[in-house]
Amino acid sequence: MKYEIVEIKEKTVVGLSERMRNDKNTSKKIGKMWNEFCYENGGEIKNIKDRVNKNTMAIYFDYTNKNGFEYRNLVGCEVKKESKNINEKLTKIFIPSGKYAKFSLFGNPQTKVTNFWINFWKNFGEQGEKLERTYTYDFEEYIAGDDPKNMEINIYIAVK
């Protein structure tokens, strides 16, 4: 798997958040979050003010262990740091500046991202190549475009 090490500046993100545990229901839970955020009754996305761009994001953070099986997931968008217009359903977080391994994908996000994570755990799991992860904030950024089934997706993994 090809990646590059990049430095990113702090990002402020607002969205729906839920505690997750990797099990057979995780994909359904994440799909439900995306549906509620983007589509259901117009989606919570319509309530987010001060967006910096039209991209959407999925953030994995607040890991309880180093194997990544328990974490908090947030589906949202990047906003201006000073953004205050947040309703009670939404959570605001700060992705810290720092060093990240950046993986770039292009295609249908549902299949590309699922396949990415399968291959990531195969290549960088306990038996695979070493990537010195910090288990702080990892995130997927879906670049807005004309075709939601054929898009650019960047995945960032926090590293030492």
What's the pLDDT at 66? 65
Q: What percent of the chain has pLDDT over 70?
A: 95
Task: Give residue 67's pLDDT band: very low, low, confident or very high (50, 70, 90).
Answer: low
Collapsed DSSP state (helix, strand, coil) of residue 144: coil
| DSSP structure string for 62-73 | --SSTTSSEEEE
Residue whose pair of structure tokens reads 């997706």 in the numeric block: 153
Checking if the pLDDT of 68 tops 60, the result is: no
Which two tokens mark 3? 């990646």
146 vs 3: CA distance, rounded Å: 25
Longest dimension (CA), the chain: 45
Q: How far is CA 14 from the centre of its chain?
A: 12
Q: Output 112 or 128, whichever has higher pLDDT.
A: 112
Collapsed DSSP state (helix, strand, coil) of residue 127: coil
pTM: 0.91
| DSSP structure string for 92-108 | EEEEPPEEEEEEEEEE-
Task: Give residue 136's pLDDT band: very low, low, confident or very high (50, 70, 90).
Answer: very high
105 vs 48: CA distance, rounded Å: 26
pLDDT in tens, 15-51: 999 999 877 788 888 889 999 999 887 788 888 889 9
- CATH code of the domain occupying 4-158: 3.20.80.10
Domain coordinates in residue numbering, the chain: 4-158
pLDDT in tens, 83-114: 876 788 899 999 999 999 999 999 999 899 99
